[in-house]
Structure 1
């Protein structure tokens, strides 16, 4: 029995070594060498004005869920953990809120961490301009305190059919818990336009 256990152990070690050598060739960063050239690049600005109980006429987003006992017009403390907001904001070509909108981002974000300021985004840019008509869909984690962060472009319709790529976002401006502006630099690697 001891000889049999020794052979099984030797075979397991041999299998582990062979697997390690074979998997070592499947480097996680090798995709960078094969990444195609971008097909499109767009820079758009996303303006969010959260409803605070006094700005109903100008608000473009609102808290729809909050921790038990929380007020739906004030983001909670503790990094806003547990707040969920939906939005229908303007998108502009520059950082001016009063510029003509080229579309609307529609979706939601929720604050998902207790120990740091972070959210998760799920939204679609609904574009209706002379340059683009259609949608681009995004989702991913947004570690808000990081200056530049990436989220995935997971789809599109119309002029941006089957869009796939990365959106580098950064908080371009904010005014307390009422207003923030995101600069969204969209790089599409796949798009059937």
Structure 2
């Protein structure tokens, strides 16, 4: 009888050893349940482009103004945006939704921002939204932010979005490539 208990206990121990009870073990090996790539196009209002601007400076440091980003690293500026999302890098391609939210430039000595936004979809393929939040160290070629939830087709989803600046023109236009990897899909 003692040998059976020992073998049963050993079996349970080995099962636990191979489970996700070990921090980080299976998370690195996990594959995403859904992966998508989108582009969003940000056109900042500069006092002259009101017909096509999709973003506006809504907060500026005391020395700044609301039509020109603050000096070095844009520290203190807060921008609200409602940008088109496309499946390719062409601004004039069919929009599959809108990227809506804000970013604020949050460091004086390094060009970096903090993002909080949602992809709100209006296409036949996707309904609902995906929510994102996190630091965006803009000088890095690739940077990750958290996927913190969603609605509709993306109800309670979690994951990581890898951002890459795909193009920029001065301080008025930039395009981000967003590679979304979802690890919790409902």
TM-score in terms of structure 1 length: 0.83
In structure 1, stretches of 5+ residues that fail to align are 1-28
RMSD: 1.2
- Report whether the alignment pairs 1:33 with 2:44: no
Residue among 147, 161, 168 paired with 2:162:
168
For residues 120 and 149 of structure 2, what CA distance do their matches in structure 1 show?
Answer: 12
Cα distance in 2 for residues equivalent to 1:32 and 1:66: 44
Q: 1:166-193 CA deviation, whole Å, 9 max, x = no partner?
A: 000000000010000000000000021x
Does 1:71 pair with 2:65? yes
How many residues align structurally? 164
Q: What is the aligned partner in structure 1 of residue 54 from structure 2?
A: 60
C-alpha displacement of 1:106: 0.5
Give the equivalent residue in structure 1 for 2:108.
Answer: 114
Distance in 2 (alpha carbons) for counterparts of 1:67 and 1:47: 25
Distance 1:174 1:91 in 2: 16
Provide closer, same or farther for how the CA distance between residues 132 and 81 of structure 1 changes in structure 2, counting only shifts above 3 A: same
Question: Partners of 1:39 and 1:58 in 2: how far apart?
Answer: 36
In the TM superposition, what is the alpha-carbon distance from 1:54 to its structure 2 partner?
Answer: 0.2
Give the equivalent residue in structure 2 for 1:181.
175
Cα distance per residue 1:113-139 (max 9 Å; x no partner):
001100000000001111110000000
